[in-house]
Homo-oligomer: A and B are copies of this chain.
Amino acid sequence: MIKIFDLTDVISIKDFQKKDIQYILKKAENLEKVAKSEEYSDELAGKILGMMFFEPSTRTRLSFETGMKRLGGSCVGFDGSVASSVSKGENLADTSKMFEAYSDALVIRHDLEGVAKFISDIVDVPVINAGDGAGQHPTQTLLDIYTIKRRFDKIKDLNIALVGDLKYGRTVHSLAYALGMFDVQMSFVAPDELKMPKETLHDLEKDNVKFYQTNNLKDVIDDVDVLYVTRIQKERFPDEEEYSKIKGAYLINHHLIKGKDLIVMHPLPRVGEISTDVDNTKYNKYFEQAFYGVPVRMAILKNIIKNKI
């Protein structure tokens, strides 16, 4: 029996218990028709979402906006383009108090870890962290898990491989943590330079989460249900040649996965990690995954924006 979701802010996936995640997954499913405009809702009519995007993020921003508008609400704010940024010289606290005065909830994107938490401590409206630097991006994790749930109708007992840059990738740390609650087998596939950090592994071990590490995609490709691919950034490597070699070794293309029983996911944007010859196959779940950002964020918005009438 799923209880009521009682988080007032959505700052870190670590604030979520398993029941909270399950609650959001359930609610998101109910909202899919609204997200596709196959059903009409004006549940958030008159409500305003404050968009504080200190750095750009098209997919995250647009899916929050679409989610809010599909529920009849509106958005105000700035979009992270250099030119749109806030009043020169104003401190973050004052800017946040301003948004608090004009909104029913805030979505914050910032390149510094901890900013969303800082803001949630000084405003009285709910705050959603839409990515704070190397920190957290909890709604991305929720939509990732939702994508898996929608495909397999369960999360438990799946073999999920996280592939690519597991060292710096904010997304994969949160995802590994959250999947750890669901009794899955995880495989971490990364070049030696970009392995999952020891702290993350240690946390998983403490929680008795099973995982396997390798730098060779071939080791796991026959057994996995999910290939979760992330971007490998050029800047992480000392020279171009090393980067090209690694990139080639982790490229997902149709040839590699043909005949296997798996899905391919990616938080997007991709820059060459998945060949376009996967796009029109049954393996491709990354476009659907992007769509699922809408119902998942709608579920969050519906639950944290208070009805004060």
Contact = CB atoms under 8 A, between A and B. Distances in A.
Contacts of A74: 69
A28 to B, nearest CB: 14
A63 B86 CA distance: 14
Nearest to A104: B37
Interface in A66-124: 66, 69-70, 72, 74, 76-79, 81-84, 86-87, 89-90, 93-95, 97-99, 101-104
| Residue among A79, A84, A89, A309 with most chain B CB within 10 A | A84
Copies in the complex: 3
Interface in A269-301: 269-271, 276, 279, 287, 290-291, 293-294
Interface residues of A, number: 59
Nearest to A271: B89
Interface string A8-43: 000000000000000000000000001011111110
Nearest to A81: B83
Contacts of A293: 101
Contact of A98 (B47, B62, B84): B62
Contact of A101 (B93, B104, B290): B290
A3 interface: no
Contacts of A86: 58
Given A59-B87, A102-B62, A37 B97 contact: no
A67 to B, nearest CB: 9
A255 interface: no
B59 A48 contact: no
